Amino acid sequence: MKLLEERIKKDGKALGKTVLKVDSFINHQVDSEFMDALGKDFAEHFKEYGITKVFTIESSGIAPALMTAKYLDVPMVILKKQTSKILNGKVYQTRVTSFTKGTSYELTLYQDYIDQNDKVLLIDDFLANGEAAMGASRLIKESGADLTGIGILIEKSFQKGRKRLEDAGYYVYSQARVGRLDKDLIEFLPEDAPVLEGVDEQELLLNNIFVFQGKNMTGNSLILYFIF
């Protein structure tokens, strides 16, 4: 999605090989009109999928998920990271570890807000290693409902999250796919770029291996590795 890529180029900041700072318009200060546009894009993309509920994980995914739910005209459900006393006894729960933040938490879903007939669209702001999305998928599977699609604002394509989700059978649509980060450097991949087969590009770079992804003259996907 060019709109998001251009905004990241304008207001985002790469702080290193794995950290992209977008807190001025996504996850600290929120641009409501921009979120509306992102939600409209998700809704347009998934409009034929029969979505009955939009799920997200608190808290950074709430704004785009709400806008998506508005355009799909379905409820939004927030998966909780903090256990609530009023939800005791009627919940689905699973343990999630955030490798990015170095923390773990119990992801919680109240049973009354999902049933086996639901077709769920999960919306989140970032996809890196895929731990949060896999945790959400476990809750949805336990309920008997279907995780029909996953919508991501910013995918770190050099990490393993997308491959994990696709290998588990889930469809992933990312509005911006970041192929490489470095200090003051942000490079994007096209939406249909191939996924590295279980390889973390940042690990390769640390070992002096450069990865090039593209297409050959016949349009077939091409991945080249250069050792330097």
Domain boundaries, the chain: 2-194
Where does 2-194 sit in CATH, by number?
3.40.50.2020
pLDDT bin (cut points 50, 70, 90) of residue 200 is low
**DSSP letters along 168-190, please?**
TT--EEEEEEEEEEETTEEEEE-
132 to 58, 79, 105, 140: CA distances (angstroms): 10, 10, 10, 13
Q: What is the pLDDT of residues 49-60, one digit of tens each?
A: 999 999 999 989
| Residue range 70-92: mean pLDDT, rounded | 87
Which tokens in the block code for residue 25? 């318009």
With a cut of 90, say whether residue 74 has pLDDT above it: yes
Mean pLDDT of the chain, nearest integer: 87
Tell me, rounded to whole angstroms, the distance of Cα 195 from its chain centroid. Answer: 15
The model's pTM: 0.85
